[in-house]
Amino acid sequence: MNQTAPALGKDLVGLEPLSREQILAILDTAEPFKEISERRIKKVPVLRGKTIVNLFFEASTRTRVSFEFAENRLSADTVNIAAAQSSVSKGETLVDTARNLEAMRIDMVVMRHGSSGAARFLAERIPSNVINAGDGSHEHPTQGLLDMLTIRDHLGRIEGLKVCIVGDVLHSRVARSNIFGLLKLGAQVAVCGPPTLVPRNVRSLGVEVFTRVEDAIQWADVLNILRLQLERMEAGYVPSLREYNRIWGISRARLERAPRDILVLHPGPMNRGVEIDSDVADGPQSVILNQVTNGVAVRMAVLYLLAGGQPERAEAAKQGGEA
């Protein structure tokens, strides 16, 4: 990679537009950043003087806090805006919100929004770096990256692994980012869920489709279990949460029939007893909390790279060098 070319573009809108090399650069850059969170004093000056706005139009605890920790540990100045308390609730349009923030001379925006394409919309209209923290049913790239980092940590590789995403693929931005990212890194990808929640043409993206979760378990090395939102049941996609658990829920008993140990991921927050049983969530194959830990490192890596940092200089940057 060219020493001076930015490792990423201006924005991180999704994993679909990224190359295999760019994704690997983010994962590799995350490695040295993991250590910062283990220090007694969890702060390095990598983003000193940078102003970052965390703009959350949808409620989020995990992702927002993870970004905040990543920003704070890199010494950025941050402002959090939640839709309910912002001028959005007074009818301001997304483009006006963006322009107003820009007028205050910020450097980066981390945005979560309920509409697919909102991150790209913002990225095309402001010069600041935009990081997509989830846009509608489109992508949640940092989640996809932290999932891949966690898989690589535990299994040593991504290439050649069989990863099955289980649940509401239709509405899931986590599913799309995983599909795009994992395929680029050479994994085999499958999806499994109720046919009402799996797009019929998803095969055209290059993934396999299982309807029966038992078949997925026979096939997979890794299960990434999606949260089933209560509103999907209310909208009639599945008749009841209990039935969903009986037919697609991941239980210890089901996992024990697998021909090999399966690594279990979940992007959270979990509905215990719906898509995942507690004996799996708390069991030895679960790496769900490792995902959370890795989330901070991956987000630090993304912030560092978008600020112009070079992957191979990450270690030096931590010691006090500029990004």
Residues that bind other proteins (CB under 8 A): 16, 93-95, 113, 115-118, 120-121, 135-139, 173, 176, 199, 201-202, 204-205
Minimum separation from the CB atom of position 133 to other proteins (A): 15
Nearer to other proteins, 85 or 204 (CB): 204
Nearer to other proteins, 189 or 300 (CB): 189
Minimum separation from the CB atom of position 205 to other proteins (A): 7
Nearer to other proteins, 82 or 247 (CB): 82
Length of the chain as a residue count: 323
Residue 269 preceded by cis peptide, ω within 30 = yes
Residue 45 preceded by cis peptide, ω within 30 = no
Angstrom distances, CA of residue 259 to CA of 22, 140, 221, 241, 254: 34, 31, 10, 28, 11
Residues sharing a CB contact under 8 Å with residue 156, sequence separation 6 or more, in sequence order: none
Interatomic CA distance for residues 27 and 23, integer angstroms:
6
Nearer to other proteins, 49 or 206 (CB): 206
Minimum separation from the CB atom of position 287 to other proteins (A): 26
Minimum separation from the CB atom of position 262 to other proteins (A): 26
Task: Enter the DSSP assignment of 59.
Answer: -
Nearer to other proteins, 51 or 172 (CB): 172
Virtual CA dihedral for 83, 133, 41, 323, nearest 10 degrees?
Answer: -120
Q: From 196, 180, 230, select the one nearest 17 (Cα to Cα).
A: 180
Nearer to other proteins, 158 or 174 (CB): 174
Q: From 8, 9, 12, 13, select the one nearest 118 (Cα to Cα).
A: 13
Minimum separation from the CB atom of position 271 to other proteins (A): 22
Minimum separation from the CB atom of position 13 to other proteins (A): 10
